[in-house]
Amino acid sequence: METRTARNWRWEKMEKASIQLSVLVRHFELYNKTEGKSPNTIDWYNQTLKQFGRFLIEKKKSSRLAELGEAEVREFIAYLQERRKWQDNPYVLNHKGKLAAISIQTYVRALRAFFNWLYKEGYTSENMLARLKPPKAPTRVFEVLTKEEIGSILGNIDINAASGARDYAILMLLLDAGLRCSELRNVELKDVNIEGGYIKVMGKGNKERIVPFGTSVQKALLRYVLHFRPEPFNPAIQNFFLTLDGKPLTKNSVRMIFRRIGQRSGVRRLHPHLCRHTFATDYLINGGDVFPLQQILGHTTLEMVGKYVSLASTHVAIQHRKYSPMDRINVAHARPWRQDKPVNKGGSIFPVQSSQRL
């Protein structure tokens, strides 16, 4: 009878080159869940890696670990740069325009995180994307909401209807506290202290923070919760903001609320994150400090807050055009210089120019 010798396998000696991308993606997802990554972050990684997998299939490339590296990712980036927006969405008929550079950057960051994990876990002997940098994207200035647009938005909400009272409270809270859309949807009754004027928010990375709000928001929230908030669909639902049938708001339902308000008010660019940008900018313009703002927004660094500082400075400069030196000088009687008619005759503020060329 033949006996088999047990072998004490070691991870570094095991053959890993033939592992398929789909297997690695499942392991990566499980790792992120056990690390406490947010559902949005995990979904972002999964969607990016699935898109990468579809690209490999479409181009008839192998998805074995040994054949995945910088070259394949660069081909994927080139593929994305030629790709049309909403190309895979059957509900969007207009596919004009290509993917924005900032969108492609998010794909690259997700792939870099995945390949860095492969290296740290010992699947690869080196980080295959260590030299790969995200493609450059143009730096754009946030176009925040103006006071007139905010007035139009709030003025076109019927606060005497259940949906309107809820929508008004949502807009007021976002514009006064700068919450993310996911944070807004997950806020529960126990998290909102209307009398104290603050709300407990669970942000990215499961980090809880306290966010204050003003008296106008207090009134809007109190009116909604006392008179218009429906009974929850079941006792387990504790979300503060609910649909009319008592269910938690979904990402799509919030998107539809903002689309409807944007159409009514004429501010069609309205979306939840625009309210966050507007809050941060107005907070600084009104004299707020960057460090409290960082805590309120839930940023771990001052990098993003620095962008709001730059934006606020730009808006302050625009608002202070009334101090323009030339606008405050009466130049109405000035005339263009003519050789046959010196302009200093008649009291022009400009002296006669000599014929010397400058």
Q: What residues are annotated to the active site?
A: 180, 204, 273, 276, 299, 308
Q: Which amino acid is at 105?
A: Q
Distance CA 325, CA 12 (A): 72
Picking from 59, 86, 83, the residue whose alpha carbon sits closest to that of residue 71 is 59
Contacts of 281 (CB under 8 A, 6+ apart): 142, 144, 308, 311, 312, 315
- 308: burial class by Cβ within 10 Å (0-12, 13-18, 19+)? buried
Are 284 and 312 spatial neighbours (Cβ–Cβ below 8 Å)? yes
- DSSP E strand stretches across 74-129: none
Distance CA 347, CA 331 (A): 11
Distance CA 181, CA 259 (A): 14
Residue 140 vs residues 137, 144, 341: alpha-carbon distances, Å: 9, 12, 48
Strand partners, 200: 210
